[in-house]
Structures are given as C-alpha cells and as structure tokens.
Chains A and B, each alone.
Chain A
C-alpha cells in the first residue's frame, strides 16, 4: 500500500458532505424498495396484466414497499400497532441493543481508519473478545462487582492482543494488514468452533457447539427488565464514544495516530515510532471490537455460540465509513444500522421480506457515499458530477 493512496483514503473517509450522505441513504432505500417490489408475488401477478389494469400493478407495488418499510419502522422505532406500552417502546430498545455492538466495533474500525490502517478483522476481534469474556463469565463464581469487570477485561485483553498481533506483523515484516486481518477472521471463526467442541468451552452434556450459560454475576445489567435485550453495555458504548473522541482529538497518542494516517513518512521524520504505533493502533482497534464481543455474550445473549460475531464485523466497517470515522458519526451510523437490523426482523416476520435486504441496503449506502459523483448523477446534479470526475 503506498502513501499517496493512504492519504487519499483518509481524505475520502473524512470528506464531509452531509447532503451526499443523506442522498446516498435515500438512494439505497429507493433501490431496496425496487427490489422488494420486484420480488413481491402480488406485484408479479399484477404485472402480468399491467396494460389491462395498470392501477392494480401500482397499488401492489405501493403495498409491498409501504408494507415493508412500515414494518421496518414498527420494528425499529415505534410500534404504533402494539397493544400495550411495552410493545410500543420495545422496538426502540431493540434498535439500541443492536446499535451497541455495531457502534463499539465501528469505533474500533474508525480508530484504525483514521490512523491509515485498514482493519478488516472486526469479526475475528469480536470473536476473541467474546471468547475471553465468556470463558471468565461461565468458569468463575465471583461477586458481581469484580466478576463483570474481570470478564470484560479478559475479552478486551484477548481482542487487543489479537489485534495488536496484526500491528506487530506489519511493523516487523511489512505484512499487509488487509490480507492478514481477512485471513485471521477465518482462523478466529474456526478456532471458536473448535473450542466450543472441547470440554474447556462446551456446556456439559451439550451435543451442539454451545457454552454453559454465563453466570449471573458476570452479566451486564438488563436495566429495563429481563425481557428487554438492552443492557448496561449500552452505557459502556456511550462512554467509549466519548473516550475515542478524547483519544483521537485531545490525547498525544491520538495525535500520533492521526499523523500516521495522514503521512507515515512525515510522522517518521517527526520522530514518531511508526512500528510501535502500528501495534498500538491495532490493539486499541481490536480492544474496541472485543468490547463489542463482550456486549454480545455478556449482554444481549447469554451463551457463546459459533455465530456470536454475526455480521457485526462487516457492520462495523460500514458504520465507520458512513460515520466518516468520527466518533459521533459512528454513533449515528451505528444507530441507523442497528435500526435496520432490528426492523428487518419484524419485516421478515410480517411481510416475508428476507432479512438479507439489510445487507443490500447497507452495502449500497457505503458504495454511494464513497462515490459522491455517482450520487449527484443519480439525483440529476450531473453537471456538478462531470466537474468532479474531470477535475
């Protein structure tokens, strides 16, 4: 990877243009709507006699798209059709419950991006965080005041070491962190599957790969009651948003990180220890992703399973890009994608729109924000687009 490109990437990520961001999200939802309509059975039937009764067709399109996005809204923000107040507010808490690990891991990716490193290894680091936290969580029986911090610390440490190893490899041998983190994601996934079949991690008597339940003293407090998945890790996440902001904008370590991201050669000349900073950046990045893993295993779920990282690793990359790698931006993007995840569950159940539509919308959003000229072109601002391409 060359330095010029790195600069370019950092600039691309940081380039603030809220209008383009909004339009990119809008465009992604529009395309998502088209796909929903296209795959809808009623739409397909009415398309058969489109010219005889075009009204039916357009009504079917409207119903399918409106139905889907209405379900998405009811599943993620406010369920106005619920019978009681608990049912009404539950969607919002689900959104925040999903947003917690996504934002935490997203902050990790953001720290790496700002420092000019491409951490694609969120998945692996989340897995290591979850493994460390889960093991302490179900193996010991301690007072809650030390058990939870101990479990969280174990997860964060495991993930930080796992991430830091990538930084070390880069510093010592020049190994490209993109390739290494991609490969480590798969290694971590296979390792997780393996340990869940050994007595060390597998629940006694279980035939499937699942750990014993986390002891109550190591669980994040579910402050809205046990039927809500939202838990104290939400506040940990908010604290981390502030902490990462402080780290990047106010601390001298963060200054070195950013200097590295802008120009590694100049940083070196200025006396910054590049190798050490590679290790530090990746360790901090991994630690934050690991925290996301602890939030999953000690909070939202109560067991360690092979699917603990779900798609959070990819979500983390997308929220870091959408949030322009700035802590508050990552938080906003994390809540948006958390809402998508939460709402998609209801959308799948009520409207039979497969949950995969989330992946489509998410990846389109990222593709569009990365290519502002394309968005301007789509919304008819093509003269500006032409200028941007040729300039």
Chain B
C-alpha cells in the first residue's frame, strides 16, 4: 500500500490547536451537570479545572497523533476508532474551555442534539438506501420538506397523527419517485435532477403555503403534536433515560429505522441484491436481479423515510409548517451520509455529531458566550469537505452511484 500521511497531518494540525487551547486556557473550573429531574438516582455534578483538563487532553491527542504517524510510516491506516477517540477528547477540551466558570448541562444539551439530529438521521438513511442502489440523492432536502408540509396539512385536517405520518411518508416517496423516474427512465444526470427537485419542492410547498394554507391557518396548519412517551424504568436511568427513552413516537421509529435499514442492507438477501445493483448493475442484471425495479423500490423507500423525518419538524418539534422550514437539513443529512461513508450506523453517528454542533451553538448563545454561532453552524459542512478531501481516511461511495444503467 502507498504511504499516506494525510490523516496524520490532519491530526497534527488539530493537536496544535489543542496545544494552543491549553496554553491559553483560562483559570477556573467548568461544572458538568447531568441531571434532568426524574432519574432514579442522581449523578453528582462535578467541577473540572480547565487548565489541568486541557493539558490532559493535549497529552492524549499527542499520543494518538504519534501513533498515527507510526502507523503511516508502517504503511498502515489509522483505524476509525482511534480518530473517534481523538475527536471525542478534543470536543471535551473545547467544551471545558468554552464553558469556563459556567455550568454545562450535559443531559439537556444531548437531548437537544438528538432532537436536531432526528430529521438528519432519517434523511441520511434515505441517502443510504438511494445511493447504495446507485442513485445519487441530492434531493433529501426536498423529501424532508415535502414530508413536513404533508404531515402538517393532513394532521390539521384529519386530526390524526397516524394519517399525518402516512402522508409524510407518501409525499417523501413521491418526491423520491420524481428523482427515480428522471434518473432511471429518462437517464437525466442525477445531480441535476436532485438540485432541481429540491427547488421544485421549495416552490410547490411555499406556493401552496401562501395560497391554500395561509387562508385558514387554524384549520390547515395547526396539527396536533406527538406526546412524549416515557418507557417505564428505562426512562429513569440517569443521562440515557431522559435522552433516549423519554421521547416521541417519531424518535422511537427512528431507532427502529436505523436498525432495520442496517440489518436489511447487510444481513438479508434483499440487501445484498440492492448493494450489488449499486456496485455493479451489469453483473446484477446478468444473474437475474431486476436492476430498474430494485432501484425504484429502494429510492422510494428511502424517500418515505425522509418524509417521516420531515414530519418530525412539524408533528415532533415546531407544531406548524413554515416556508423552507427544513433550511438545509437535507444537505446536512447528505453530509452525514458521506461522513458516515454510506453506512447507516456511521451516518447516524455523524448526524448525531452534527446535531450536537448545532445545539451547542444555541446552548452557548444562552450563556452569552462570545463565540460566533455561525462557526459552529459551519462545522458539518466544513467537516464534510475535510472528509471528501480524504483527510480522515478514504471516502468512496458505491461504485455505480451516479451512473445510469442502460440495459442492452
């Protein structure tokens, strides 16, 4: 294997940043608080001295970076878990420094992060199903937005959350259907279709919002919202209880979706066929797999999932539809997909990380930190560029993604 120092160089740069943070670390302590109120037992808050913690983190990073250089020289790759430890430690240092003299509410921050990550995860799963079968899905944004609009409208009219969810899934699948028809049947470039479909959906939802919904907002845009469901016992475990088991139905659906997509993709015959179509459609066709049908089904299933993610905006979080309310979440989901290397579990982790960055920004603005919020909001986009530039390991999608298959 060719020697590649890209990862080691990137880690070194971040270690230098950590050194700089340690040198300039302010005196004082940061209080970490873990309690959200209804746990079985409380974890005591603890105070961390900023300077000491900073230097410890720096040493950890230094060791990891050194190890990475050693691996590179040995022509070995830096394993992903090592990069993971590195990132986790660096985040701890940044938190300790940012919240100096303040309290950092761990549990509530994580709760908020999960809420922001839910649509991203659904969107990323849609991307996984679509791109693994060979269709580039730039249109996640449109699928989310269509789901948000349809669920708000249908639940407002019917007062049924279930129908709202179904409508969201159907509308997401329809948007994905447009993507599928144009890229599979009409062999239009998939990136063009994706970009254009997003704008088409923005246009359609905004148009009908202003003309139809706005005429009677109470009857047409005031859907019920999902109630929080506390799972007995589990919801009372400190940290993970309030975080994972005291959520709305959509979030529980999300857990199921991640598991199902992962298992279906990697442990079933259907998943194997799907991936075969995405990697080498001609070979798949030769052994009798129906390439077109597999692509249509998988892309539209993905769209249905993204639609559910869209419903989270209206039925799970805000409680009403507004123009362009997804505001780029679809593109962050795309970023999570790429950052997670087209793997449902890694993409979910990436989405959680992006949700954390977004939420940290609002927590910081509450404590009045002078860190410009825009830079934290930029993080998902910047990290994705770092990822596609190959600085954290090689990122390669399924081989046939973006290529139309023309049966001869």
Q: Do A and B bind each other?
A: yes
In chain B, what residue has the closest Cβ to A181?
B385
Taking CB atoms, residues of chain A closer than 8 Å to B328 are 186
Chain-A contact segment, one of B191-199, B289-297, B343-351? B191-199
Q: Evaluate contact between B188 and A175: CB separation under 8 angstroms.
A: no
Taking CB atoms, residues of chain A closer than 8 Å to B197 are 363, 367
Q: Evaluate contact between A354 and B207: CB separation under 8 angstroms.
A: yes
Q: Report which of B182, B203, B334, B381 forms a contact with A356, defined as CB distance below 8 A.
A: B203
Instruction: Say if the beta carbon of A134 comes within 8 Å of chain B.
Output: no
Q: Evaluate contact between B378 and A190: CB separation under 8 angstroms.
A: yes
Q: Evaluate contact between A374 and B186: CB separation under 8 angstroms.
A: yes
Q: Evaluate contact between A366 and B196: CB separation under 8 angstroms.
A: yes
Q: Evaluate contact between B192 and A321: CB separation under 8 angstroms.
A: yes
Q: Evaluate contact between A356 and B189: CB separation under 8 angstroms.
A: no
Nearest Cβ on chain A to B73's Cβ, whole angstroms:
21
Q: Evaluate contact between A356 and B192: CB separation under 8 angstroms.
A: no
In chain B, what residue has the closest Cβ to A321?
B192
Q: Evaluate contact between A354 and B191: CB separation under 8 angstroms.
A: no
Q: Evaluate contact between A179 and B200: CB separation under 8 angstroms.
A: no
Q: Evaluate contact between A190 and B208: CB separation under 8 angstroms.
A: no
Q: Report which of B204, B384, B403 forms a contact with A183, defined as CB distance below 8 A.
A: B384
Instruction: Say if the beta carbon of B299 comes within 8 Å of chain A.
Output: no
Nearest Cβ on chain A to B193's Cβ, whole angstroms:
7
Q: Report which of B196, B381, B382, B384 forms a contact with A367, defined as CB distance below 8 A.
A: B196
Instruction: Say if the beta carbon of B267 comes within 8 Å of chain A.
Output: no
Instruction: Say if the beta carbon of B338 comes within 8 Å of chain A.
Output: yes
Taking CB atoms, residues of chain B closer than 8 Å to A39 are 207-208, 211-212
Q: How far is the CA of A147 from the CA of B185 in the complex (A)?
A: 53
Nearest Cβ on chain A to B279's Cβ, whole angstroms:
13
Interface size, B (range): 35 or more
Q: How far is the CA of A176 from the CA of B138 in the complex (A)?
A: 13
Nearest Cβ on chain A to B377's Cβ, whole angstroms:
5
Nearest Cβ on chain A to B404's Cβ, whole angstroms:
8
Instruction: Say if the beta carbon of B263 comes within 8 Å of chain A.
Output: no
Instruction: Say if the beta carbon of B372 comes within 8 Å of chain A.
Output: yes
Taking CB atoms, residues of chain B closer than 8 Å to A118 are 191
Known A5-B189, A39-B211, A194-B372; judge A359-B202 contact (CB<8 A): yes
Q: Evaluate contact between A183 and B335: CB separation under 8 angstroms.
A: yes
Known A354-B206, A356-B210, A359-B206; judge A371-B385 contact (CB<8 A): no
Taking CB atoms, residues of chain A closer than 8 Å to B211 are 39-40, 352-354
Q: Report which of B208, B378, B389 forms a contact with A175, defined as CB distance below 8 A.
A: B389
Q: How far is the CA of A197 from the CA of B372 in the complex (A)?
A: 9
In chain A, what residue has the closest Cβ to B328?
A186
A337-373 with Cβ < 8 A to chain B: 352-354, 356-360, 362-364, 366-367, 370-371, 373
Taking CB atoms, residues of chain B closer than 8 Å to A321 are 192
Q: Report which of B186, B200, B372, B389 forms a contact with A371, defined as CB distance below 8 A.
A: B186
Q: Evaluate contact between B182 and A360: CB separation under 8 angstroms.
A: no
Q: Evaluate contact between A370 and B210: CB separation under 8 angstroms.
A: no
Q: How far is the CA of A173 from the CA of B404 in the complex (A)?
A: 25
Please name 20 further chain A to chain B contacts, defined as beta carbons within 8 Å, in addition to the given A8-B189, A193-B374, sorted by A numbering.
Answer: A2-B402, A5-B403, A8-B404, A9-B189, A12-B189, A40-B211, A41-B215, A173-B388, A174-B390, A180-B388, A183-B385, A190-B374, A190-B375, A354-B206, A356-B202, A356-B203, A356-B204, A363-B197, A366-B192, A370-B192
The 8 closest A-B CB pairs, nearest first, are A359-B203, A39-B211, A371-B186, A360-B203, A363-B200, A183-B381, A354-B210, A356-B206
A-B pairs with beta carbons under 8 Å apart, 25 shown: A5-B403, A12-B189, A40-B211, A120-B191, A173-B388, A174-B390, A175-B385, A178-B138, A179-B385, A179-B388, A187-B378, A314-B199, A354-B206, A354-B207, A354-B211, A356-B203, A356-B210, A357-B203, A360-B200, A363-B197, A367-B188, A370-B189, A371-B182, A373-B186, A389-B186
